[in-house]
């Protein structure tokens, strides 16, 4: 194992804070970016990563960011900020990365799905489970699983909030290897 120390100037720290905006954990994100950059450089040096297109390079960079600490929840937002692309472009880059590196990122994807399912609350008024599904790969994956089943589909309520029929929610939890939850 090689331990590398990098001094980040006050100016670069401030630039990152400006890019990320208020409320972000800029120190953790900076560490993630630096570790991902080191992983990328090592992959180049060892010949594990050779790219012929910018799209392939970007996907690998996102892969490095994900494997060094960027969560799936923050991926699209950070891709847009760090790569200076529109949110729509960031979604495409993230989706392409998740598809390209699906085997390597299986645990990340599973963890993100588990977080959504574990974060669901029972809505007494609707008689359904309520979960937040922000636009992106995880939402597409969950809705794709639901569409492929014979169970009732979730229904969008407002914004990123979706209602899941109890049987669909229970089935999704089983698919994710989670214990079935009963509503209170």
- Report the sign of the C-alpha dihedral through residues 72, 147, 166, 125, in that order: positive
Q: Where are the alpha helices (DSSP H) in 6-105?
A: 10-20, 26-46, 54-67, 72-83, 87-100
Angle in degrees, CA 179, 182, 184, rounded to 5: 140
Token couple for 18: 């400006």
pLDDT at 53: 93
- For residues 167 and 129, what is the distance between their CA atoms, to the nearest angstrom? 10
Per-residue pLDDT 10s for the chain (184 aa) are 778 888 889 998 888 888 888 776 888 888 888 899 999 999 999 999 888 999 999 999 999 999 998 887 788 888 998 899 998 899 899 989 988 998 998 888 888 899 999 999 999 999 999 999 887 788 888 999 999 999 999 999 988 899 999 999 999 999 999 998 988 7
pLDDT attached to residue 146: 93
- The strand order across the sheet containing 121-123 reads 121-123, 128-132, 161-164, 155-158
Q: What's the DSSP call for residue 49?
A: -
d(CA 81, CA 139): 21
At residue 41, the pLDDT reads: 92
User: Residue holding tokens 């029929």?
Assistant: 165
| Count of beta carbons in the 10 Å neighbourhood of residue 175 | 14
Residue extents of the structural domains in the chain: 10-104, 110-175
Between helices 10-20 and 72-83, what is the axis angle to 10°? 110
């Amino acid at each position: 194992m090689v331990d590398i120390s990098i001094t980040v100037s006050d100016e670069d720290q401030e630039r990152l804070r400006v890019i990320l905006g208020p409320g972000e954990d800029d120190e953790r994100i900076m560490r993630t970016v630096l570790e991902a950059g080191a992983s990328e450089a090592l992959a180049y040096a060892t010949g594990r990563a050779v790219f012929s297109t910018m799209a392939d390079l970007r996907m690998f960079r996102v892969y490095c960011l994900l494997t060094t600490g960027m969560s799936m929840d923050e991926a699209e937002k950070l891709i847009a900020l760090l790569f200076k692309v529109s949110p729509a472009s960031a979604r495409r880059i993230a989706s392409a990365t998740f598809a390209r590196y699906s085997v390597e990122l299986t645990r990340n994807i599973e963890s993100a799905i588990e977080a959504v399912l574990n974060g669901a609350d029972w809505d007494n008024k609707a008689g359904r489970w309520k979960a937040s599904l922000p636009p992106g790969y995880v939402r597409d994956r969950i809705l794709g699983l639901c569409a492929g089943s014979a169970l009732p589909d979730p229904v969008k309520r407002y914004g990123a909030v979706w209602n899941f029929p109890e049987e669909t929610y229970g089935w999704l939890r089983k698919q994710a290897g989670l214990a079935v939850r009963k509503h209170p």
